[in-house]
Structure 1
Amino acid sequence: MSEAEQRLATDRRNRNAARELFDQRLARVKADLSARSIPARAKDRVQEQVFTALDQGIDVAKESKGIIAGVAAALTLWFFRNPLIELASGLFDKDSGGNDQPSQEEQEA
């Protein structure tokens, strides 16, 4: 057998071994996919990531309660800003006593 024939035989064995490994892996993937579909795998992965994020969020919340309370208070003030501004203006207008128009009681007298 010449050197070229030996190299060809070796290359064929390597090719056949590689093909056998590929076929085995392909069979495992097919069996895996038949057991659980791709959407089911994606759903499981997303759920796992969501739960991990929630756990991390809870840990951060436990460590910084003051910051969360401050943000909640700021948001509450922001949502109720118009009624609070009206209330404050009403209080300041009463306290200043600078009403140019007489009240109804003063008009009746």
Structure 2
Amino acid sequence: MSEEALQEARTRRAEAWARFNGRKQALREGLAEQPIPTRIKNAAMDHVIDAVDEAKAVAKDNLPVIGGTLALLAAWFFRRPLITLIKHRFAPAAEADEDAA
């Protein structure tokens, strides 16, 4: 390797090392301002807020579907008391018809 090529390689190495040190210093300064856990928390909160906003928009567009689903779920959870109530409501009418005959 000639002296000229060696000097050029050293110059490129020195420039690359200076760029690396500059980036490293910028990273250290950035991390001093806002540490990694804070950055993660902020990014997660941004994603959560975006998801909630999207869910609100979808819910606003589909209010009847959500209302119907909630009504069906309530009917399912209270099915036994509802069935009992319906049987007691209509059972006396059926017994009265049988007594009249």
SS of structure 2 residue aligned to 1:55: helix
Q: CA deviation at 1:93?
A: 3.5
2:51 aligns with 53
2:17 aligns with 19
2:68 aligned to 43, 67, 70, which one? Answer: 70
Q: CA deviation at 1:92?
A: 4.3
How many residue pairs were aligned?
Answer: 96
Higher RCO (CA < 8 A, seq sep 6+): 2
1:85 matches 2:86: no
Unmatched runs of 5 consecutive residues or more in structure 2:
96-101
CA radius of gyration, larger in = 1
Cα distance in 1 between the residues matched to 2:71 and 2:2: 83
Whichever structure has more helix as a proportion of its residues is: 2
Alpha-carbon deviations, 1:42-80, whole Å to 9, x = none?
A: 111111111111111111111111111111111211221
Unmatched runs of 5 consecutive residues or more in structure 1:
98-109
Alpha-carbon deviations, 1:71-97, whole Å to 9, x = none?
A: 111121122122112222333433432
Question: If the length of structure 2 is used for normalisation, what is the TM-score?
Answer: 0.81
Question: If the length of structure 1 is used for normalisation, what is the TM-score?
Answer: 0.76
Alpha-carbon deviations, 1:26-47, whole Å to 9, x = none?
A: 1011011111111111111111
Deviates more, 1:55-64 or 1:7-16: 7-16
Provide the identity percentage.
Answer: 33
State the Cα RMSD in Å: 1.9
